[in-house]
Amino acid sequence: MKMKFHYIILLALGTALMSCEKDNYEPPTSLLSGRVVYQGTPLNFEYDRVSYDLYQDGFGKTGPLGSTFTSEGAFSQLLFDGAYKMVIPGGQGPFVPLQTDAGTPDTIRISVNGNTTMDIEVTPYWMVRNTQLSAGGGQVTGTFALEKIITNANAKDVESVTLYVSKTLFANSQTNVATAVIEGGAITDVNNISLSATVPELVPAQNYVFASIGVKLAGVDDYIFSPTQKINL
């Protein structure tokens, strides 16, 4: 009996000692974050649509850490300190692709050392300006202007403009309860566009909605959005 007791003590002691050894890596702690901006103004996209790739060289195969920008155009990654490369693949985003002269996506070099904040400056084809969203009579009305930023050979035409009304902060083509569309050809004055959508019965009932304006450009997949606003009905 005494023998057994000794064994148990020995076993417990061994386990305790062995377990103290560090058998895992520290998790990454440096937060890389930033936003996509144009002249300091953050751009707004559709949630989970505009993607970016993050590479780190020197560890064998070079597969990207991929993710997408949020609807506020922000990105964030918890990383180890080191040198990273960020690439926005061609065709992503409603802005002029960041490209080298050879036409391949340009690389943004990032050195992560502790929490790092970095904004990415891009040039969108169009911007939504002076957005005023209001509610009244069961309707949400959006009044806004469109500004053409790119006017050279790379200019894109507006295909359609949509007012999205949603129950949540995600007011876009994937989640909405009401929309109002105007085709690009029907716009007479880009400085003064007005769209109204009737809010349907909300289940469960809520006395507020969220709304945003999305602009679809011909030949560009991703929409450019106005900031989403909360409107009390």
Partner 1 sequence: MKKIHFICFALLLSFGWGCESDSEFLDRKPAETLTTEQAFSDPNQVLSILANLYNRQFSVYRLNDWQTFADFNEVLVTADDNLTNRWHTNSTWPFNGINDYWFTWDYAYIRELNLFLERIATSTISEDLKATYAAEARFLRANYYFELAKLYGGVPIILESQTYDFSGDPSYLQVPRSTEAGIYDFIIKEAEELKSLLPVNPDGKSRASKGAALAMKAQAAVFAGSLAKYRATTPSVSLPGGEIGIPVDRATGYYETALGAAQEIISGSAGAYSLYLKIPTNLSENFAALFYDKNANPEVIYEEEYLLKFKTHGYTIVNQPRFGAEEEEGGALNPSLNLVQEFELLDNTFAPLPTVDANGNPIYYENQGDIFAGRDARLGGTVILPGSIFKSRPVDIWAGVQLADGEIISGSERGQLRELPGNPTPQQVVGFDGPIAATNQNALAGFYIRKYLDPAPGSGRRGTQSDVSRIRYRYAEILLIAAEAAFELGQPDVAAGYMNEVRARAGFTTPLTGADITFDRIVHERRVEFALEGQYFMDLKRFRIAHKIFDGSSMTLEGLRSGIGTATNRSTQPWALWPYKIYEPGSPNDGKWIYKEVLPSRVTGADNWQLGNYYSSINNDILNNNPKLVRQPLQ
How many angstroms separate the first and last alpha carbons of the chain?
Answer: 78
Smallest distance from the beta carbon of 18 to partner 1, in angstroms?
37
Instruction: In angstroms, give the least distance from the CB of 36 to partner 1.
Output: 18
User: With respect to partner 1, which residue has the nearer C-beta, 67 or 134?
Assistant: 67
In the complex, the smallest distance separating the C-beta of residue 108 from partner 1, rounded to whole angstroms, is 17
Q: How many CB atoms lie within 10 A of CB 13?
A: 10
3-class DSSP state of 109:
strand
Residue type, 155: A
* CA dihedral of 80, 29, 75, 232, whole degrees rounded to 10: 170
Nearer to partner 1, 35 or 87 (CB): 87
Q: Report if residue 71 touches partner 1, rule: CB under 8 A.
A: no
Q: Least CB distance from residue 4 to partner 1, whole Å?
A: 46
Structure tokens at 148: 């053409």
Q: Which of 28, 42, 89, 184 binds partner 1 (CB under 8 A)?
A: 89
Residue ranges in 113-142 that form contacts with partner 1 under rule CB under 8 A: none
Out of 91, 136, 185, 200, the only residue in the binding site for partner 1 (CB under 8 A) is 91
Task: Check: CB of residue 123 under 8 Å from CB of residue 95.
Answer: yes
Question: Do the beta carbons of residue 216 and residue 161 sit within 8 Å?
Answer: yes
State the Cα–Cα distance between residues 184 and 163, nearest whole angstrom: 13
Distance CA(20)–CA(77), nearest Å, equals 30
SS3 category, 170:
coil
Q: Is 57 in the site for partner 1 (CB under 8 A)?
A: no
Under DSSP, is residue 16 helix (H, G, I), strand (E, B) or coil? helix
Q: Which is nearer to partner 1, 53 or 72 (CB)?
A: 53
Per CB under 8 A, the segment of 15-23, 34-42, 171-179, 196-204 that binds partner 1 is 171-179
Size of the site for partner 1 (CB under 8 A): 16
Task: Show the binding pattern over residues 199-228: x = contacts partner 1 (CB under 8 A), - = does not.
Answer: --------------------x-x-------
Query: Which span sits near partner 1 by CB under 8 A: 36-44, 90-98, 197-205, 224-232?
Result: 90-98
* Cβ-contact 149, 124 below 8 angstroms: yes
Contacts to partner 1 by CB under 8 A: 49, 61-64, 89-92, 103, 173-174, 179, 181, 219, 221
